[in-house]
Structure formats: C-alpha cells, structure tokens
C-alpha cells in the first residue's frame, strides 16, 4: 500500500517538474531584468515643468502639503519683485511618502505628479529628502545589478 502511495506522489512530483519546465515563468531575474511599470504606477513624486518657460508649474499654494497624509512635503515661499508668490524651496521626504497620489489630486496646476521610478533603496536615509531641483529633473536612480 505504501509503495503505491509513494509511487503516486513521486510521479505527481515529476509531472509538476516537467509542467513547470515547459511553461513560461512569471517571475523576473531581478536585478538583471526589470519590469516596465504600467502608466498609472505610483512611483516617486516629480514636479512638472512648464513646456513653454521650462520653469516649474508650482505656484506655492501649499494645497499638496496640506493634503499629504504623511506630512512628507515641505514648501517655503517668498514674495517676488512684483509682489507675486515665489517658491523658494520645495522638498519631499521620500522615506515618509506612501505614494498615495493625494498631492497630485489636490494640485490645481497639475504641477506635481507621480513618476514610474520605483528603485529608491539607499544606504543613508538623509539622501531621501528630495529638493526642488531633484524633484524637477528626477532622482538619479541607482540601478543595482547584483
């Protein structure tokens, strides 16, 4: 009886092995290969530049910072030469960000968006506070290969 059961399980195991030998794998050999993230992927926050002027679209209204549940956004504004509001600094602490996208929903100018960048691992957390220029140009993603 035991012999029959053992043979049955042995054959079933072999069948499983052969089945998976000839079916495409669903995993990826990361980091040698990488997924192309979908359009609506919520990756690292980016500040959008105006196509005509090349300057940031942000008008410093603070709505995104107020909406952010993780309090990851820090904005400072100053008064410009024509008494208009100017964004002096704009920082996002990526170590706090939960990629919820509420900042993008709140922004009346379409000045903030979520990119498809997702490889954010660093050895030092201090490097996770992205300043305005980094947010506009996009962070330099360290691509580990092993």
How many residues bind ligand SF4 (CB under 6 A)? The answer is: 28
Residue 58 makes contact with ligand SF4 by CB under 6 A: yes
User: What are the CA-CA distances from residue 134 to residues 6, 28, 47, 67, 111 (Å)?
Assistant: 61, 30, 9, 22, 14
* Per CB under 6 A, 97 contacts ligand SF4: yes
- Which is closer to ligand SF4, CB of 33 or CB of 39? 39
DSSP, res 49? B
| Encoded tokens for 115 | 């990119």
Of 6 and 105, nearer to ligand SF4 (C-beta) is 105
Min separation Cβ 141 and ligand SF4, Å: 17
Please identify, among the stretches 12-20, 100-108, 116-124, 132-140, the one whose residues bind ligand SF4 according to the rule CB under 6 A.
100-108
**Cβ contact 72:92 at 8 Å:** yes
Query: With binding defined as CB under 6 A, does residue 120 bind ligand SF4?
Result: no
Report CA-CA distances (Å) from 15 to 22, 23, 24, 63, 66.
Answer: 11, 12, 16, 59, 57
Which residue, among 113, 92, 116, has the nearest Cα to 104 in the 3D structure?
Answer: 113
Sole binder of ligand SF4 in the list 49, 109, 127, 129 (CB under 6 A)? 109
Structure tokens given for 131: 């300043």
Q: Where does this chain touch ligand SF4 (CB under 6 A) — which range of 12-20, 30-38, 92-100, 125-133?
A: 92-100
The token pair at 62 is: 């603070």
Q: Point out which residues bind ligand SF4 (CB under 6 A).
A: 45, 58-64, 67-70, 72-73, 75, 92, 97-103, 106-107, 109, 111-112
């Amino acid at each position: 009886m035991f012999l029959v059961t053992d043979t049955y399980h042995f054959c079933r195991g072999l069948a499983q092995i052969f089945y998976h030998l000839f079916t495409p794998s669903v995993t990826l050999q990361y980091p040698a290969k990488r997924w192309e993230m979908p359009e609506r992927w919520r990756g690292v926050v980016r500040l959008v530049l105006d196509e005509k002027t090349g300057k940031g679209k942000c008008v410093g209204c603070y709505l995104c910072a107020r909406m952010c549940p993780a309090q990851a956004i820090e904005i400072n504004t100053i008064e410009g030469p024509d008494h208009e509001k100017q964004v002096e600094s704009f920082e996002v602490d990526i170590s706090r960000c939960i990629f919820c996208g509420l900042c993008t929903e709140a922004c009346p100018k379409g000045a903030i968006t979520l990119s498809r960048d997702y490889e954010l691992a660093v050895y030092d957390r201090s490097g996770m506070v992205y300043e305005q220029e980094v947010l506009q140009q996009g962070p330099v993603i360290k691509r580990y290969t092993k």
